[in-house]
Amino acid sequence: MAGDVQEKPVEREVRSRGEVLIAIMNNPLDFVVARDQHWYRIPVHSVENWLKARWPPEWLAFYQTKVFGSEAHAVNYYCPVLEIRRVFRWQLFPGGPRDDRANRLYYQLILGPLQRLPQSIFSRRLRRIVFIPTIWSKFVRAVEINDLYDGSPLEDRLWAELRRLEIWAERQYFVNTRKRRYVLDFAVFCDHGKVDLETDGDTWHANPDRIPLDNQRNNDLAGLGWTVLRFNGHQIREGTPEYCVPAIVESINRLGGLSRQGMIPRTFDPRPGLGPRQLTFFESGHTGQAGRGRPQEQSQKHQEEKTGMEKMIAYCGLTCTECPAFLATQQDDDSQRAQVAEMWSKEFGAQYRPEDINCNGCLSEDGRHIGYWDTCEIRACAQGKGVETCAHCDDYACEKLDALFATGHEARATLDEIRAGL
């Protein structure tokens, strides 16, 4: 984005909760106003409904939506809040129509210069985000959107464990039922279902008046296909590895593993004492039904020994060695080829035959590749520039990656992690 944007982040000390506010930026014209005219607006009723306990912010950052192309679905810019005014809409837009909207009340946040984050804070899953109030220490350390949430200490402790195990969950996830809207502490999306993880504070949920409300909530979510797991303060503080993690892993494995949008779902080793261990290939039969098929307990080292290859990351950030077509090819397993062909035909709306499922990965040159390998624009561009991955390119992230990033694949997370280490 051109204009008055600074590149160097500001270093400062933490002073209060809610000092940074992540707001939605879904209109390029609003971005121009923030960048060039140095103000942003928030309806007064939104502050009263969502932000009363965390208002006013000292800093403002913007989560950009899909209209921003290569910068979409991420926090890229932030700025100091210099002043906050309470104004009518007609004062913000004096040339606009004098209708009912003109008399709506807004907070006008007067902003300092926009500054670009050294590394974008990305979203793993395309989802609805309203506002995220957070603290400065979380903001400057965040890698993805879920790192920003500043909930209870119990939530933060469970999130740290989930993150360590690469159990990617969505925090503060909205679910609408017929009559109510619920906010889930953690939403985990599996191949054959969804898991809601709740951290029940000892004081709040020990209240007997909460019991019928929690029961109603559980029933409403179960009706929408959610499995609800509740952990109290003692279980999280004292028994996360021994109790919470095994319960979560058991539910994930029972529901077919973590969903990864067309890639092999990820399951975990449930054996006690060893802790969860990611399985690189698991499901001898991808049947579309939870609970069928037995995990093949192959560690990453075992998988590398079997395929003769280390982890292969394509130019675009997809991990070839975790792709079901690659795995079926390396194992020369026709039954797996048939399962992948059926799965991809349903998911992508194209007809795949078992004989189409042959690929040695994007970086190989031996001729066994999925059909679009030789026409891939991203691959051709990276090879032409002589870069190892798109993360190594001076133009990262360009518009060639927009369509891939929009699918919610883990490619962006992989490339962002690579770039952060350069």
Class of residue 230 by CB neighbours under 10 A (exposed 0-12, middle 13-18, buried 19+) = middle
Specify whether 244 is located in the same domain as 358.
Answer: no
Specify whether 280 is located in the same domain as 311.
Answer: no
Q: Mark which of 241, 264, 298 sits at the end of a domain.
A: 298
The domain that holds 185 is classified in CATH as 3.40.960.10
Specify whether 397 is located in the same domain as 315.
Answer: yes
**361 neighbors 320 (Cβ within 8 angstroms):** yes
User: For a pLDDT cut of 70, what percent of the chain falls above it?
Assistant: 78
Specify whether 293 is located in the same domain as 158.
Answer: yes
Alpha carbon distance 369, 363 (integer Å): 10
> pLDDT at residue 27 above 60?
yes
Specify whether 143 is located in the same domain as 155.
Answer: no
pLDDT in tens, 205-264: 566 776 777 788 888 898 889 999 999 888 898 888 888 999 999 999 888 888 765 566
- Pairing assessment for the beta strands 59-64 and 39-43 based on DSSP bridges: unpaired
Alpha carbon distance 399, 71 (integer Å): 9
pLDDT for 32 equals: 96
Specify whether 144 is located in the same domain as 26.
Answer: yes
Give the pLDDT band (50/70/90) at residue 364: confident
Q: Which structural domain range is residue 189 located in?
A: 151-298
pLDDT, average across residues 14-31 = 82
Give the pLDDT band (50/70/90) at residue 3: low
**25 neighbors 44 (Cβ within 8 angstroms):** no
pLDDT for 142 equals: 93
> How crowded is residue 115: how many other Cβ atoms within 10 Å of its Cβ?
20
Average pLDDT, the chain: 80
Q: Mark which of 124, 149, 174 sits at the end of a domain.
A: 149
Q: Mark which of 252, 273, 298 sits at the end of a domain.
A: 298
**102 neighbors 124 (Cβ within 8 angstroms):** no
Identity of the highest mean pLDDT range in 45-54, 273-282, 358-367 = 45-54
pLDDT in tens, 264-276: 667 776 654 444 3
pLDDT for 231 equals: 92
The owner of tokens 């006013």 is 56
Phi, psi of 3 (to 5 degrees): 115, -160
Specify whether 2 is located in the same domain as 126.
Answer: yes
pLDDT, average across residues 48-54 = 88
Polymer length in residues for the chain: 422
Alpha carbon distance 284, 281 (integer Å): 9
pLDDT for 419 equals: 81
Instruction: State both tokens at 377.
Output: 């624009």
The domain that holds 73 is classified in CATH as 2.30.130
Q: Which residues of 28-57 are buried (b: 16+ CB within 10 A; e: fewer)?
A: eebbebbbeebbbbbeeeebeeebeebeeb
Q: Which range (102-106, 167-171, 256-260, 268-272) has the least confidence?
A: 268-272
Domains in the chain, number: 3
pLDDT, average across residues 376-404 = 82
Specify whether 202 is located in the same domain as 329.
Answer: no
> pLDDT at residue 283 above 50?
no
Specify whether 224 is located in the same domain as 284.
Answer: yes
Give the pLDDT band (50/70/90) at residue 114: very high
The owner of tokens 């309470």 is 86
Specify whether 283 is located in the same domain as 178.
Answer: yes
Distances (CA, A) of 370 to 47, 236, 353, 354: 50, 45, 11, 11
pLDDT, average across residues 78-107 = 93
Specify whether 157 is located in the same domain as 78.
Answer: no
The answer to whether the Cα torsion of 326, 330, 331, 334 is positive or negative is positive
Specify whether 145 is located in the same domain as 157.
Answer: no
Residues 6+ apart with CB under 8 A from 55: 18, 47
